[in-house]
Amino acid sequence: MLAVAVVAALALAVTASIMKDPRHGEGLLGEVLVSGDGRTITTLNSRTPCQQDPPELVASESRDSVTLVLKESDIDLRPQCNTIDEQITTTLQSPLGTRRLVDPDNGWTIAPFDQKRLANPRYLPPGYAPTTDVKWSDSSQHDLLSAFFMRDRNSGPAWTRFYHRAPEKASLSITQISGNLTVSAAGTPESIHGWAGRLTPDSNYTVTWTNGAYTFIVSTTDQHLHEAELLRIAKHLTP
């Protein structure tokens, strides 16, 4: 069980923090997803597309472990353009199973989130669809909040899905964290499937609740997506 107080800024920072460049300081540690069949590994990466070719996520497999390596091209420092945050994947020769998933920078075990455990969003606002380009439409929120929440080797598995109204960038996210975070008293009390949660309206709306096994955070930077819609998304999030 994770004993962490969750305020509104921290709740938003969970989604923002995983968009940091995973090459800085902690290698690939961060959010990692393993597919239902155990063969596809997905993580997040930040790059500058005009300066480098897309990176390649490479898995080195042994009987007891799988080591993930991010192979990148050389960076041309002359062009300047905005970075993009995106999902990248690799396919294993055989299912991960009970093998350790290893960060080569420090030898730490990465705790991946099992895709079979993800709750299903049965309602999304009109026009919204999943996106693998996960940079927030309001990039200032990323810069402001990324310092509040940093994952480490003791963090439970987590995964965040991002949604957008095409052709806009991501402005809606759903985070699912293994463990029971203590939801703070900030915001308005709400009941999500009978579980106590909190709605925090601010410059962003955030709904946070726990069901004893997972903590969920539904968050948006879309100023046109009002709290009733955000609550509807939360209340239609089911296993």
E strand or H helix that includes residue 185: none
* Residues 61, 94 contacting (CB under 8 angstroms): yes
Confidence of residue 186 (pLDDT cuts 50, 70, 90): confident
Token code pair at residue 103? 């960060």
Q: Has residue 37 got a pLDDT over 80? A: yes
Residues 6+ apart with CB under 8 A from 106: 26, 27
What pLDDT shows up at residue 40? 97
DSSP secondary-structure letter at 115? G
Q: Has residue 84 got a pLDDT over 80? A: no
Confidence of residue 6 (pLDDT cuts 50, 70, 90): very low
What pLDDT shows up at residue 183? 72
What pLDDT shows up at residue 93? 96
Q: Has residue 41 got a pLDDT over 90? A: yes
Angle at 215 between CA 213 and CA 220, to 5 degrees: 155
Structure pTM? 0.80
pLDDT tens per residue, range 67-82: 998 887 776 766 677 7
pLDDT tens per residue, range 106-146: 888 888 999 999 999 999 999 999 988 776 665 554 443 33
Residues 6+ apart with CB under 8 A from 130: 161, 162, 163
